[in-house]
Structure 1
Amino acid sequence: MSTFGQVFVKNNKYKPQGSFHHLTPNTPIRDADNDWKLLGVTNPRDMTYIHSYGGEAVFFESLSKKRLMATRCDSPDCDSRGTVYMPFRIHCPDCLCRNSIIDITDTAKTTATIHTFMVCERSGAFNLLEKPIKFINIEFKGVDTILMSYLAVGEPRFGQKVLPVFRTLEPTYTILDLSWVVDGTAESDLPQGFSF
């Protein structure tokens, strides 16, 4: 049996396999200032979440294939027809029709610039990014929304051209499979597992 729980879908039903529960013994909580008097016990628990991407699955799958997918409203009755959304939106917020999936990889490689940025020296629990984290808001020509991501290589500046890089080696199938580097970055300087 697997050490970690895994899930697949068959006949339109989730099929969990492996171990989702790990027993961890309780341990005493004692008062070091009062003769180590017992105050309680720990109650460790592991939680495994099954998170469905639904209509966004194509976005996360495409990152592992070096593709950046966006969506566009193509509804003929919508005042927002032709609006391109990045980050990916399944439905148009104006007419609620299902958006069309489009590939904007080439647009990102040629027109992505830093709209604004912030540098975080500290982060919260469960952060997986190396500090300082250079969060960047990216704008693309022909895209009506702005994407928030992070700069893996280089120092951010307003209006600076950036290029997408994709985690293709051991992808996580999360937004962390997409990062950005300043234009002119050599492939040898990319973070491990990432490529143009």
Structure 2
Amino acid sequence: MSMFGQVFVKDNKYKLKGDFHHLTPCTPIRDADSGFKLLGVTNPRDMTYMHSYGGEAVFFESLSKGKLLATRCDQFECESKGSVYIPFRIHCPDCLAKNTVIDLTDVARKTARVHTFMVCERSGAFNMLDTPIKFINIEFDGVATILMSYLSIGEPDMQMRVVPIFRTSGPTFTILDLSWVPEGTREDQLPEGFSF
């Protein structure tokens, strides 16, 4: 029995363990209306990709702990000094200096509101969210950027107050560990695995 591909870093080198690809035989595609004439073959492939977060790893790790991190430019001579960025930006887009990591959790809980939204009835391949997906763009007081995420409960509305929820049980270590619910939502209403 094979094991899914796993990766860790030791001595500053990637160490791989398990299977990273599984070949599956091609099977014929036949036309049932024409005597099962051959039309083609399936070409299934299953691969495990390695995706490195680099300097953003702290952001994704923090979601699993119920924290929303952002960054701020603290470069003295930068025109944008003091600008706060979420989504997380490692470097200031204006002066290119390394930003300071800050905790934005309390600001999000107190000031997050829907800037715009869209509801998608269908999704693309490999989507992990149930449809309809209620995508929301969120603005925060004192933050220079807008974050795109999704609303787990309720119907989105412009300027609606929302609060962050975090997948702290069984986290995926992806952006899907962060979602939003309308202000006033009770803990017993949250999706499984999520908490305030």
Q: TM-score range by the shorter chain?
A: over 0.9
- Note the C-alpha offset of 1:35: 2.5
CA RMSD of aligned residues (A): 1.3
What secondary structure sits across from 2:45 in the alignment? coil
Q: Which moved more, 1:161-170 or 1:120-129?
A: 120-129
What is the aligned partner in structure 2 of residue 97 from structure 1?
Answer: 97
Identical aligned residues as a percent: 73
Residues 1:38 and 2:38 are matched in the alignment: yes
Shift of 1:2: 5.4
Using structure 1 for the length normalisation, give the TM-score: 0.95
1:43-70 Cα distance to aligned partner (Å, 9 max, x none): 2211211000000000000000000000
**For 2:76 and 2:141, how far apart are their aligned partners in 1?**
23
TM-score by length of 2: 0.95
Shift, 1:3, TM fit: 2.2
1:20 matched residue in structure 2: 20
Partners in 1 of 2:188 and 2:181 — Cα distance? 12
The offset of 1:22, in angstroms, is 1.6
Deviation at 1:24, TM superposition (A): 1.2
1:180 aligns with 2:180: yes
2:101 alignment partner, SS class: strand
Cα deviation for residue 19 of structure 1 reads: 1.4
Distance 1:39 1:180 in 2: 47
Residue-by-residue CA offset, 1:25-49 (whole Å, 9 max, x unaligned): 2212223343323343322211211
Q: Read off the aligned partner of 2:69 and give its amino acid letter.
A: M
Provide the C-alpha distance between the structure 2 equivalents of 1:149 and 1:93, rounded to a whole number of angstroms. Answer: 22
Segments of 5+ residues of structure 2 without an aligned counterpart are none
Q: Which residue of 1 aligns with 2:106?
A: 106
Secondary structure of the 2:152 match is: strand
Moved over 4 A (4+): none
Q: Paired residues, what number? A: 196
Query: Superposition pairs for residues 121-132 of structure 1, below 5 Å?
Result: 121-132=121-132
Q: Secondary structure at the match of 1:40?
A: strand
Unaligned runs of 5+ in 1: none
Q: Secondary structure at the match of 1:82?
A: coil
Output the amino acid matched with 1:88.
F
- Aligned partner of 1:190 in structure 2 is 190
TM superposition shift of 1:158:
1.2
Give secondary structure in 1 for the equivalent of 2:165. Answer: strand
Q: Specify the alignment match of 2:159 in structure 1.
A: 159
